[in-house]
């Protein structure tokens, strides 16, 4: 498989710069024990993680080609789709809205400014709380906008544009 699955990236984000045991990774990630074990084994085999049998840490000598593979546009796109699909499929504890809204030029500028403010707020909130809130308790938030015409052309043309 090219890139990383969302669950694999959750493991890597859980470990971050630390050395963690299987139990600590379970606690931070919220993954089911069997899933966590399988993901850890796969990440060790693919060279993303190193282990001494008790703890896991991120391999600092990951080849640039592998880094490029997991951080390329296609990989990020696939991960984003996984997260959006999971959010849509989740039937509780979520707020999801997708609407076509008529905005005149003035309202669009106001909305754009609000998104810039939201982005700034979220960055500061994350910076302030990231050490205290385990990965499994963090919120997944996404936003954006585009004109319907642009989206329809993207659907028709795909990657050809």
Question: Could you tell me the end-to-end alpha-carbon distance of the chain, in angstroms, rounded to an integer?
Answer: 26
From-to residues of CATH 1.10.10.10 in the chain? 1-93
Mean pLDDT of 63-77: 84
CA distances in angstroms from 148 to 20, 115, 143, listed in the order given: 46, 19, 15
**Residue at token pair 């609407």:** 99
pLDDT tens by residue, 118-153: 999 999 999 999 989 988 999 988 888 888 888 888
CA distance 65 to 62: 8
Structure tokens at 72: 């390329």
pLDDT tens by residue, 15-57: 988 999 999 999 999 999 999 999 999 999 999 999 999 999 9
CATH number of 1-93: 1.10.10.10
Region of 158 please: left (phi>0), alpha (psi -120 to 50) or beta: left
């Amino acid at each position: 498989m090219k890139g990383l699955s969302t669950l694999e990236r959750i493991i890597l984000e859980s470990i971050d710069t630390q050395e963690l045991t299987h139990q600590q990774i379970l606690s931070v990630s919220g993954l089911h024990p069997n899933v966590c074990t399988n993901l850890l084994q796969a990440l060790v085999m693919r060279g993303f993680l190193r282990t001494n049998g008790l703890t896991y840490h991120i391999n600092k000598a990951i080849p640039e080609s592998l880094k490029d593979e997991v951080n390329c546009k296609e990989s990020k796109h696939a991960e984003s789709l996984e997260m959006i699909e999971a959010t849509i499929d989740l039937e509780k504890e979520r707020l999801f809205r997708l609407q076509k809204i008529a905005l005149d030029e003035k309202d669009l500028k106001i909305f754009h400014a609000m998104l810039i403010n939201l982005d700034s707020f979220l960055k500061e909130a994350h910076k302030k709380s990231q050490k205290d809130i385990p990965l499994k308790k963090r919120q997944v938030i996404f936003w954006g906008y585009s004109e319907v015409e642009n989206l329809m052309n993207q659907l028709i043309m795909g990657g050809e544009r």
